[in-house]
Amino acid sequence: MIFVSVGTQLRFDRLIQWTSLARSKFCPDQKAVVQKLDGKSFGLDCHHSFQSMEFEAHIRKCRFIVSHAGIGNIIAASENSKPILIVPRSSQFGEHRNDHQIATARNLQNMQGVYVAHDQKTFEEIFSKLNKGVHLQIPHQRSNQLGKCIKKYLQERFPS
């Protein structure tokens, strides 16, 4: 199963459409469970939201994650040793107010298990490799350090 999450604030039809096309092309029998807001479903199994336990269960069960460049999803992928393909939202396409997700993607693109696509061709190339179980090898030491720093910052800033 592939788990797709666009976050809880805005629609992200471009990500959903790219996922639907790549799934049809590379793994039409593979189920894709999608957390998304309103908008087109492009034939995928879409849900408006999940309770946190259900969201975490999908993360644990999936082969890989497709997501916007949200830090929460990136941390969840890292904590569960799941590769994540991120597509940053772009203000150019009206997907967000600014381009902070592009900056996030740029800063995290060398983190182990994080794959970034800014265009559909790159998205399909990475999607195909992840579907086949092919993962690029990135030095683990750096990703652990970065992940820990991000997690510590978020925990201090937003205690649960």
Q: Tell me how far apart the alpha carbons of residues 95 and 92 are, in angstroms, rounded to a whole number.
A: 8
Higher pLDDT, 35 or 93: 35
Mean pLDDT, residues 34-48 taken together? 71
Band of pLDDT at residue 38, cut at 50, 70 and 90:
low
Domain that holds residue 38: 2-157
Burial class (CB in 10 A: 0-12, 13-18, 19+), 105: buried
- Strands 2-5, 114-116: pairing is unpaired
So what's the pLDDT on residue 102? 79
Quote the number of domains for the chain: 1
pTM, to two decimals: 0.79
So what's the pLDDT on residue 109? 81
Cα separation values, 78 from 40, 48, 150, 151, Å: 29, 24, 11, 10
The strand pairing partners of 86, in sequence order, are 67, 116
So what's the pLDDT on residue 39? 60
So what's the pLDDT on residue 138? 43
For 109, other C-beta atoms within 10 Å of its C-beta total 13
- CATH, residue 94: 3.40.50.2000
Burial class (CB in 10 A: 0-12, 13-18, 19+), 38: exposed
Chain-centroid distance, C-alpha 52: 16
Mean pLDDT, residues 117-139 taken together? 84
Band of pLDDT at residue 139, cut at 50, 70 and 90:
very low
Higher pLDDT, 42 or 74: 74
Q: Is the pLDDT of residue 88 over 60?
A: yes
Q: Do the beta carbons of residue 27 and residue 15 sit within 8 Å?
A: no
Q: Is the pLDDT of residue 131 over 70?
A: yes
